[in-house]
Structure formats: C-alpha cells, structure tokens
Structure 1
Amino acid sequence: MHIEYLDPYTLSWPEGVFPLGSDALALGEFATVRRGWRVCDLGTGSGALLLLLARRAPDLALSAVERDPLAAQTARDNLAQNSLTGTVVTGDLRDRLLPAGQFDLVVSNPPYFPVNAGGSGGPERSEAFCTLEQLCAAAGYLVKNGGRFALCHRPERLADLLCSLRAHGLEPKRLTLLSHSPNHAPSLLLVEAVKQGKPGVKVETRLRVRDE
C-alpha cells in the first residue's frame, strides 16, 4: 500500500491503482472551488482530487465516477478514512450515471494519448476507453450553467481540447501552462471552462514546483 500525506488528509492506494502524480497536484490547486459546492471527479482513480479539493474548501458535496472497481473502492475507502462523505459510482463516465446539470465543478485528470498516437503514457494514459471529445461531452452534461470544468492535459493537445470544450457548451476562461524551468517548453496544460460562459480566456505561464 502506498501512502501520501495531503495535509490534513491521508491518501493511500494499492498496487494496480493509478498513483498520485504532480499533474493531479497541480490540478487540485488550479481548479476554482468554493464552500458548499457540488463537485464531481470524472475518472477519479484513488480519489486524490476529491481530497485535494476538500482541503481547500469546506462542506463540499463530493461525487465521482470510476470504471475500475478496485480504484472506485479505493476512492471510497479514502473518503471514509478521512471522515469525508461522498458518492463514488463504478461505471463508464460516458453512460451518464449522474444527474444532468447538478454540479458547480467537474474535474478530471484524463488519459492524454489517443489510441495509436504513439504516446508513451502506458495503458492508463490511453484514450481507449474515453476520448477527449467524450470526456468533454460528459462534463458538459453534468455541470450546471455557469458551473466550471477544470482539467489537466498535454500542451500539444491544446487545439483538440479547446475545440472539444466549445463543442459541448464549455467556454475556456483560464489557461495555465506549466514548465520545469524558464528554458524548458511547457509540460502541462491546465484549463478551466465555464458552461455557457462568454468568450475570453486568461492565459498565464508558471514553473512547476513539484514533479513526480
């Protein structure tokens, strides 16, 4: 069992569940979240993003979808062990397993590489079970008008991401590019979109303070 301390919470996960990484940590700090919001994590894995958001804002109504039964149970266990309540649904996020338009914030740390694209992210990072377009469709279905969808992705997928967001009524409003140093190209893209938001996006760059 692996353990990571996310003050004031503790995250644990067994072999076979996707590990906590710097991308999830960055997204957990980037996403806008406020007290009492209804939050849903698509493809939650161990539930790391739920804990990262819960430590930033109290009284969140936490929900998640995860297709892998072991990971889904791990997320439930992490909520219970940290005295947090929430609903983790085991199933395919494309199947609309939760009510439409009910969430103030949807987040996701999704697969990065299209099938047969030659990426080296391993099976957990392949879009074999959910494409970027399908992920944005699911988020657009779940988030309420004026609500937010925040996710991390690869900078080279920027055009695909922005097109997919807009196609599902999600207007990009914040975009951050993270790099390891001023001399390195960005290695991570963070985007937050607003359901039925007005056009106009704020762009910034910054250094990654932690890498796994």
Structure 2
Amino acid sequence: MIEPILKEGERIDGLPSQNIQIIQNPDMFSYSLDAILLANFADVKGKGRGLTVDLGAGTGAVGLFYAPKVTGTIKLVEIQPALAEMAERSIAMNGLQNRISVLQADMKAIFDDIQPGSVETVLANPPYFPLRDTTKTNQDEHYELARHELTIDLPGLAQVANKLLKNNGKFYMVHRPERLADIFSAFAARKLMIKRVQFVYGKADREANMVLIEAIKAGRLGGVRIMPPIVAYKQTNEYTKQVQNILYGQPWT
C-alpha cells in the first residue's frame, strides 16, 4: 500500500476482509454498511475479466471493495470533483491504478468515454430518496446529491445501466425496501429482469431497511429468487456473526 497524503478533515477507513482502504472526509460523505454489502452481494460473471462500472461511486467504496473479486477493469463514475479526487487517491493508495480509473462526470453523459453495450457488470448505490415538492433536502451539497435524486432518478439510472450493459450483463444495486415498486417498474420498462433479491435488517425484530437487487439485461421473465436475509446487529448493538464474517473474515474471492 502507498502511504497517502491526507487533506484536512480526511481519514482512512478500511475493509479488512478485502484488504482495501478508502480515503474519506466525514464532513462531505462517508460510505456505510450498504456499500460493503452491495460489493459482497455482487457476483462475478465468468472469470471476472469484463469491464465493471460503478455509477455514482462517491469516494469509490463499492468499486474498490469489489475489485479483489475480479481481474478486469473497473471505472468509477462520480459527478462531484472532490469525491472523485479522493477516489483517485484511494486507487493509488491500494496500488490499483492499472485496473481502476475514475471518470468525473454526470453518469448520463459518459457514453463518449464508455462504449454502450461494452460493460459486463454495473454497480450502483444511488440516492434513496425521490425529490418531491415537500422534500426537505440536507443543507450540505455533498449529502444532498448522495441522498436525494437531484441529478438522476430510478428510471434514469435504469436507462444508463441498460445502455452500458452487454446483453446478459448484470446490474447490482442497493436501495430501500419502500422503493421496491418503483424499482421493479423502472427495471422492467428497460429490460432489466430482476433475478435475486436480498433483504437486510438492522435487527432481527425490525423491518428490513435495505434491499440488494440483481438484474440481468434482456434476461428471461420470471425466476426471481429471494435470498436468505442479512441481519446486521444483535440486540446488544454488536455486529452479527454473519456481518462480522463479511467485514473481517476471509476474502470474498
């Protein structure tokens, strides 16, 4: 690992199981468990030599955590310059410049840089909250863009993923269970056939607060599998053994 030069307010957080470290600034935005669970949930197609794109990558957590599972190239797409720059330094810190690069751009305008129909796997941890007339957004610009659909909504995200993917390429996303109807509708309209769904629960006696989705471009209708749930915390607020293994256990490869 290359020792990075940290700027004011920055820190290094890591995922021991994948031996990956990420530069973050909590005053801007920090990744959380959803990014880790998405990278863990995402499968590898074939020998993992194809192109992977992480849409709305932020500081690059999802793409970097996924990187040890594959041998191919990964592109991190992030609209915010400050977060994209942090992602670039994290790539260098982990010695992954030969496989991972950052594209600082609006994901709707990346097709001159990434050829449509060329991508094997798309990853996305998008803003969870739709923008309505009554929406109260966070005052901080970085958090607004990360939490609210200011620059792209679910149908728009599904359209970008569809355009990027090869036929039978896969799209992996983490979102909120209350948006499931919107997710199924947006994906079906763009020929992204949902194949696996996994719910994540904060604690065993609570409602699910996350959902992990796998969809295939131009896949066959039907055959949706509901995977065993993930429970994040014990009643004592410690991680469950299941999550501890994801965070601190053997590499996912």
- Structure-1-length-normalised TM-score: 0.92
Q: Give the C-alpha shift of residue 142 in structure 1.
A: 0.4
Instruction: Give the Cα separation in 2 of the matches to 1:155 and 1:104.
Output: 26
Instruction: Choose the corresponding residue for 1:2, options 3, 7, 11.
Output: 11
Q: Give the C-alpha shift of residue 167 in structure 1.
A: 1.2
Which residue in 2 is equivalent to 1:44? Answer: 57
Which residue in 1 is equivalent to 2:4? Answer: none
Contact 2:199-2:229 at 8 Å conserved across structures: yes
Distance 1:206 1:119, change over 3 A: farther
Q: Give the C-alpha shift of residue 51 in structure 1.
A: 1.3
Contact 2:123-2:172 at 8 Å conserved across structures: yes
- The structure in which a higher percent of residues are strand is 1
Contact 1:33-1:53 at 8 Å conserved across structures: no
Which residue in 2 is equivalent to 1:164? Answer: 186
Give the RMSD, CA atoms, in angstroms.
1.9
* 1:100 maps to amino acid: P
Q: Does 1:94 align with 2:142?
A: no
Instruction: Give the Cα separation in 1 of the matches to 2:186 and 2:168.
Output: 18
1:101-139 Cα deviation digits (max 9, x unpaired): 111100000001111264777512000111111111100
Contact 1:178-1:189 at 8 Å conserved across structures: yes
Instruction: Give the Cα separation in 2 of the matches to 1:173 and 1:183.
Output: 27
| 1:59-74 mapped onto 2 (5 Å cutoff) | 59-74=71-86
Q: Give the C-alpha shift of residue 80 in structure 1.
A: 1.3
Q: Does 1:112 align with 2:134?
A: no
| 1:8-157 mapped onto 2 (5 Å cutoff) | 8-34=19-45, 35-57=48-70, 59-85=71-97, 86-97=100-111, 98-116=114-132, 118=135, 123=144, 124-157=146-179
Contact 1:50-1:62 at 8 Å conserved across structures: yes
Distance 1:103 1:205, change over 3 A: same
Unaligned segments of structure 2, at least 5 residues: 1-9, 233-238, 244-253
Instruction: Give the Cα separation in 1 of the matches to 2:83 and 2:148.
Output: 17
Determine what percentage of the aligned residue pairs are the same residue: 30
Q: How many residues align?
A: 210
Contact 2:198-2:230 at 8 Å conserved across structures: no
Unaligned segments of structure 1, at least 5 residues: none
Distance 1:33 1:3, change over 3 A: same
Q: Helix, strand or coil: the match of 1:55?
A: helix
* 2:54 maps to amino acid: D
- Structure-2-length-normalised TM-score: 0.78
